Chain A
Amino acid sequence: MNTKQLLGNVAKWFHKYLLLGEEGDPASWAIFLVLVLAYLGFSLGLVKAFGTTLVLEFTRYAHDNAAHLYIARTIIDNGEYSRLANLGTVWLPLYHLVLMPFTVIDKLYVTGLAGALLNAVFVATTASTIYLVLRGWLGLVFAFMYGFSVYSIIHASSSYMVPIGQFLAFAATYYALRYNETGSLRELTKATALAMAASTARYEAWLVLLAITLAVVLREAGKRNWVIAAYVPAMWLGVVGWLIYNWAIFGNPLEFIVGVFPVPPGTISSSSIISHIHGSLIAS
């Protein structure tokens, strides 16, 4: 297997598993590979020059970089205070849960590459999903316009939360459009699962959820197709789960609206590894 085939297979693999069975085509694989390599190159360049991608904090745009890395790690590596409640409220939990295994590796945590590795894949997949929606030259142009915009590059090299939300919301929209074209309920199931996941990643995605729900109801209501009743609640399970989490941990299902602490106060153990690393980061 030569390098070209290997890269093609890697891109196909990511498409297949991140986009729930959508294999893409050579153009979408090319978009994915070009963008991932560009983002990783930029991130590694930042690490070589400054020792960490957290310097992106100085752009005053990705200023929550360190906080997201910290929350992800504090769930499992905070001495006696390690607990699920450290996910806090305000910020939705999915990104921190996905990031968690990567932040355990000290090298990835300190350099910020834990977030950069994940986000590079998420932003690149969003770009190739844009191509898959539009297709043709228009798709290529818009995918690269999105992929090489300054914000996308900053997102892809940081541990910012936006990319996972965008990726899931775009993927859900892609399948919702396919369902609209074909009427296939399997496409709708994929849209449902992705929209549910998106709603646990970013609050903006709740609007996408609402839009897909309205589209589905308006499309099927006239046909009196009651089977559709199964898909709408399945879509809102993430929102319901977030309300239950807030109720269970903070005693108020709407704590994420009124709460002020992304992390509950008094949860930092002075003996934990993270406090040492943060101490040395602040000192440097």
Chain B
Amino acid sequence: MLRHAAFTNIWLAAALVVPQLLLVFIFFYWPTGEALYWAFTLEQPFGGSNQWVGWLNFATVFKDPKYWNSVQVSIIFAAATTAIIISVSLSLALLVDRRLPGHQIYSFAYFIPYAMAAPAAGLAFRFIFSPNAGFVAAINNWFPNIWNPATDGFDAMVLVVLCQAWKSIGYNFVFFLAALQSIPRPLTEASAMDGAGAMRRMWDIQVPLVMPTLFFLLIINLTDSFVDSFGIIDITTHGGPARATDLMVYKIYFDGFKAQDYSLAAAESIVLMLLVIVLTFIQFRFVERRVHYA
């Protein structure tokens, strides 16, 4: 007897799998293939003739100091947002998990920001943090010129990091809360009876037990901040001032859609894709070893 379930009707199996494969092909492999082809040619905006140029587009990308600036900015953005998102959402989940009165209201409130579209969040942040008219403008009254994301690159980066973090914390919070709630109560109760305080229980029992979730969220957040941060940048800073928030994904958008340099944007997309793959690989190879799946 087979130890695992198997289809005897291979055609039925194929028919069931095909729609899924087709979707993946149409929405991933086909465009990626097209981008790969464009990355090795010089494509005119309206089509027409395109010529094979080998590695020229990649050479253009790599020898451009502004591209390396983009890479650096993207890495800072990804690291900062991920650190903030994970630490804040885990803390919130740990607190809500203590089930103090009214905790349902908190879980609801924390999740709401995720339901907001990135451009809407960006617009709200732009207004709130605008140096002259915004809510935060008050700080400039006490310390003149301390906050101005329109001219100060660091402030602009803080603004987009906060915006991306604010938007994603709710999503991460739900995952952490679910993970915490799946920890058997007797474990925490037993340690409480042994005299461990709330902080000790969190640190020694709960956090280690949600490590698989934390690892999953780490990868999702890093990937997200590399590929899904376009909307916020486009509304708040347009990559400025002086390219201080010119994330790789925004540069791809600008070069491809605004400047109609499809080949350069294609090469940049391929580089970004490889970078995300490498980062994910590194995490699975080295970070995951420290994660114990229950």
Pairing of A with B: no
Residues of A participating in the B interface, judged by any CB pair closer than 8 Å: none
